[in-house]
Homo-oligomer: A and B are copies of this chain.
């Protein structure tokens, strides 16, 4: 059996849309994806939907059926919640469904509504991704947790706020022409260094924003594509998932993320490639330090060297391996439950040539996506490939 294909993708604008419901946003993203794919809703045999905090932001659980209804699809619908990796895990379930022959065509995506909450409520609901008993009750917030990881990294490997600022600068620059991005403006190193602290050593431009938005992708089998004369260049050749203890205190290291390493190892094995084969990556940069840990966890850079990559130029658009050409979570935005599917959408467009930054990867044949939940307690890695 051939590899599943990404037949079409869709995104809403990522930004502040407190007046839009998740079902409204998912309808836009999902119908865009179906239209992009040229696949009829009647052919869709399953819906996989990621959402994180609907219970808090919309008093709504049981969103699987709503996600199908929003698209006019009569098929089994499953909601996955894995914090910031919710729709990444949903993508994995969708891929497995097509790979196993269970379905020929499915739609996967996610949506999140966050800006209708106040700041305290938003911080509290994001903390649902951390361990309530062992972290949240003693005062850990997500910026605080990633600040601990950044501090530990600086202590173990060296590095500075200025190194991290280069990552923020890169990702903001990448988003300037991204019509879907929350922040379409550049920043310079001094902007980042002079910004107010969020949790030392992380300052404002080290953190992704609070974002509303939705993303979707239509996944079909190779056979479906052939039977329907669809010319679909992007294949999903690898998928991997890893989990770790939820609380940071229960981990062996603060500076390594084995859930991501396990996910990447599985995905690379699955695709029969190695990290050296990767041409372009979208990784989970909820904080600048998270981009460093992501790249190192997957073996793209050695431990201790990931923090130099942006400054050195390796991960810039013109570099050896452009990272977060979408703008990443940092500048594109992070509607939590939509992010994993959005990475698939961005990577698909990058590889097939209709992304605003496709010019930088016109020779690329292998792209990866890395979507992490919490402080990387859940991670999903996917490998997408096109022929060159």
In the bound assembly, the distance between CA atoms of A58 and B61 in angstroms comes to 15
Q: B79 near A64 (CB under 8 angstroms)?
A: no
- Is A268 an interface residue, CB under 8 A from the partner? no
In the bound assembly, the distance between CA atoms of A93 and B250 in angstroms comes to 28
Q: A244 near B65 (CB under 8 angstroms)?
A: yes
In the bound assembly, the distance between CA atoms of A242 and B66 in angstroms comes to 13
Stretch at the interface among A68-76, A165-173, A277-285, A348-356: A68-76
**Chain B residue contacts of A79, Cβ below 8 A:** 80-82
**Chain B residue contacts of A246, Cβ below 8 A:** 62, 65-66, 69
With CB as the reference atom, state the residue of chain B lying closest to A128: B61
**Chain B residue contacts of A68, Cβ below 8 A:** 243
**22 A-B pairs, CB-CB below 8 angstroms?**
A21-B133, A47-B243, A53-B55, A53-B61, A59-B127, A62-B81, A62-B82, A62-B373, A62-B374, A64-B82, A64-B378, A65-B245, A65-B378, A66-B246, A69-B250, A76-B243, A76-B263, A78-B82, A79-B80, A93-B93, A96-B102, A100-B100
**Chain B residue contacts of A129, Cβ below 8 A:** 61-62
In the bound assembly, the distance between CA atoms of A132 and B65 in angstroms comes to 13
Q: How far is the CB of A330 from chain B (nearest CB, A)?
A: 22
Contact with B along A170-186 (1 / 0, CB 8 A): 00000000000000000
Contact with B along A113-142 (1 / 0, CB 8 A): 000000000001001111111001000000
With CB as the reference atom, state the residue of chain B lying closest to A126: B61
- Is A293 an interface residue, CB under 8 A from the partner? no
B-contacting residues, A33-84, CB 8 Å:
47, 52-53, 55-56, 58-66, 68-69, 74-83
In the bound assembly, the distance between CA atoms of A250 and B74 in angstroms comes to 13
B-contacting residues, A347-375, CB 8 Å:
373-374
Contact with B along A78-115 (1 / 0, CB 8 A): 11111100000100010011011110000000000000
With CB as the reference atom, state the residue of chain B lying closest to A60: B132
Interface pairs A-B: 5 shortest CB-CB: A100-B100, A61-B128, A76-B241, A62-B83, A65-B377
**Chain B residue contacts of A76, Cβ below 8 A:** 241-243, 262-263
* 8 Å CB contact of A96 from B59, B97, B127, B243: B97
